[in-house]
Chains A and B, each alone.
Chain A
Amino acid sequence: MEVRVANVRKEFERFPALHDVSLDIKSGELIALLGPSGSGKTTLLRLIAGLERPTKGAIFFGDEDASQKSIQERNVGFVFQHYALFRHMTVADNIGFGLKVRHGPTRPPAVEIRRRATELLDLVQLSGLEKRYPAQLSGGQRQRVALARAMAIEPKVLLLDEPFGALDAQVRRELRRWLREIHDATGHTTVFVTHDQEEALELADRVVVMSQGRIEQVGTADDIYDRPNSPFVYGFIGESSSLPVKVDNGEIWLADRPIGLAAPDAPSGEATLYFRPHDVELLDGCSGCIAGTVAASRRVAGTRRVELEIGGERQRVEIELPVDHPAAQKSRVAFRPGRWKLFPTANSA
């Protein structure tokens, strides 16, 4: 089922949580809504589900306008952050709940409901736990039951709110791979909310980066990481370093020196230069480069992270070096960013 969010605005007591958001989700896609807390990602998910009504705009399921439909009519599978399993029901009853509350001919007989619950438990690899209560399950198991319960109603869209947020790192990685497998096997259009960029980049077909109630960028992991379209995305996704620079006739200047980077299309004036700390080329001599004094050096996993003080303003940037690189021992290091991007300063605020 395709989902189209068209110019949706959502206000809570006149405080806007989403400004004019539009998003097209293709059928069968696995989409991540990624952003810091307060960016509106959960609000967007709840709007798609029908747990909230948009202040303006519409949400389409296929060609049908779903915005005026209630959550029951939308037929979405929603997995809540804290699972919201019914604590007084067994695992099997939890999974069968969505079928049990149906009316008339659409309600399957009890035997069928039970069979379906067992089938779904197999799918989420929890066979044999039918008679347990949620309190008797681990966090990861509850998560799987919640997903099985949401899938039992054969939803048009599967929506997950921070699905792995409450789990520890090990279980989280396992479940991530498992969710991808389930998605590939069932083909549900799936949207999940996360603040964990690793999770979003690894798991999703496309990532929607959100900030302050707006969508900053939509794209594949490669798009988002290699071609960030805003200072926010550059700073939020992965490691980044930035320097205030000046553009003059297509050449980039740091203080009073050109740094050997050309930006022929950039307008002259103040700008901010962004680059990845690990994507730098170290230089010996310095005619057109960024040079700085080593202020600190830290070992981080497989690399050494060096903090440099640049120029008279004592601006600090970080670059990453191989652990045994001799430059780390020096007091002055000169480098030039490999891949970089320039954003005019006025917009970066």
Chain B
Amino acid sequence: MADPEIKSYEPYHESRSAAVTESRPAQAVLMIVTFAFLGIFLLLPLIIVFHEALAKGIGAYTHSLSDADTRSAIRLTLLVAAISVPLNVVFGISAAWAIAKFEFKGKAFLTTLIDLPFSVSPVISGLVYVLLFGAQGLLGGWLKAHGIVILFAVPGIVLATVFVTFPFVARELIPLMQEQGNGDEEAALSLGANGWQTFWYVTLPNVKWGLLYGVLLCNARAMGEFGAVSVVSGHIRGLTNTMPLHVEILYNEYNAVGAFAVASLLAGLALVTLVLKTLLEMRYGAELAATRGH
């Protein structure tokens, strides 16, 4: 912390008050620490991912990506995201609607429950499904009798992914909807709109940027989830391996180029998500400010 003796009282700065201005050395130290951390722990690994992926040239890179098992992993990841993200959108909107617009008993409990996947280790979420749907599990016998396969198959992977991602959309929408209140909906109803029209013309446009933001984060997590999926997938090559699981398998087989090539795709996804998220935040921030304006 800055020594009060050497605190310099500069002329009033536009965005910062002079009273909280640290001395120049203190500022420099803070910035160096921040950049060093970001560089070592984030930027460097990212560079290494791409470096390793392209270590044997672009040919080896594309070759490893065109491998049948790799392609199947990519397809599965896309499929899982394509199922779980829409499910989350539906769940997120209904949960946010219920919590923000109605008063009911157990509301606080529901709000806390939505956060559960954030606080529980993903491995546990996977294990829960094994206990529930596994051969020795609670519903295992019944499922087997009816020929329904959930564990070590696509349905299990989807379920686990839905579980770990389901707070994303809801948590974006709840504060937004709470802030906007019921006024617009009441206005639409008083003008003769039915419930569906009110939702479609009024509620949804009011939250669209928040929703998109939630979908983006949800999608990134759905594609990148490892722990929960790892427990329920069974790691069957070409069948139940998602991209993150495939990366691990390739790496354990000392196929560095293959592992890092797939990893580079995931890293690329992260970067695209980051850019979109920043763009949305700019847009969405303005939207929020407009909300407070009237």
Contact = CB atoms under 8 A, between A and B. Distances in A.
B190 A51 contact: yes
Residue from B188, B190, B193, B202 whose CB has the most chain A CB atoms within 10 Å: B190
Residue from B183, B191, B192 whose CB has the most chain A CB atoms within 10 Å: B191
Interface string B108-152: 000000000000000000000000000000000000000000000
Contacts of A75: 192
Interface size class of B (residues with CB under 8 A): 20 to 34
B33 to A, nearest CB: 41
Interface in A148-164: 149-150, 152-153
Nearest to B190: A78
A77 interface: yes
Contacts of A131: none
Contacts of A135: 290, 293-294
A86 B184 contact: yes
25 contacts: A51-B186, A71-B189, A72-B189, A75-B192, A78-B186, A78-B187, A78-B190, A84-B183, A84-B184, A85-B187, A86-B202, A87-B294, A88-B205, A97-B191, A97-B193, A98-B192, A101-B188, A101-B193, A101-B197, A101-B201, A102-B192, A135-B294, A149-B191, A150-B191, A153-B191
A142 interface: yes
B206 interface: yes
Interface in B151-207: 183-184, 186-194, 197, 201-202, 205-206
Closest A-B pairs by Cβ, 6 of them: A98-B191, A84-B187, A84-B183, A101-B193, A78-B190, A88-B205
A49 interface: yes
Interface in A36-87: 49-51, 70-72, 75-78, 80, 82-87
A97 B290 contact: no
Contact of A82 (B183, B189, B197): B183
B294 A101 contact: no
Given A72-B193, A75-B192, A77-B190, A82 B294 contact: yes
B186 A83 contact: no
Interface of B: 183-184, 186-194, 197, 201-202, 205-206, 290-291, 293-294
Interface size class of A (residues with CB under 8 A): 20 to 34
A87 B197 contact: no
Interface in A132-154: 134-135, 139, 142, 149-150, 152-153
B104 to A, nearest CB: 12
Interface of A: 49-51, 70-72, 75-78, 80, 82-88, 97-98, 101-102, 134-135, 139, 142, 149-150, 152-153
B294 A71 contact: no
B294 to A, nearest CB: 6
A71 to B, nearest CB: 5
A50 B186 CA distance: 10
Nearest to A106: B192
Contacts of A71: 186, 189-190
A71 B293 CA distance: 28
A58 to B, nearest CB: 20
B189 A87 contact: no
B282 to A, nearest CB: 17
B156 to A, nearest CB: 40
Contact of B191 (A70, A82, A101): A101
Residue from A72, A75, A76, A85 whose CB has the most chain B CB atoms within 10 Å: A72
B106 to A, nearest CB: 16
A87 B206 contact: yes
A134 B291 CA distance: 11
A87 B290 contact: yes
A80 B294 contact: no
Contacts of B191: 97-98, 101, 149-150, 152-153
Contacts of A139: 294
A83 B192 CA distance: 17
B194 A80 contact: no
Nearest to A96: B191
A80 B192 contact: no
Contacts of A49: 190
A72 to B, nearest CB: 5
A88 B186 contact: no
Contact of A101 (B183, B192, B206): B192
Contacts of B201: 86, 97, 101
A148 B161 CA distance: 49
A85 B294 contact: yes
Nearest to B193: A101
Contacts of A51: 186, 189-190
A48 B187 CA distance: 15
Given A88-B206, A101-B201, A134-B294, A72 B194 contact: yes
A5 to B, nearest CB: 18
A97 B294 contact: no
A80 B183 contact: yes
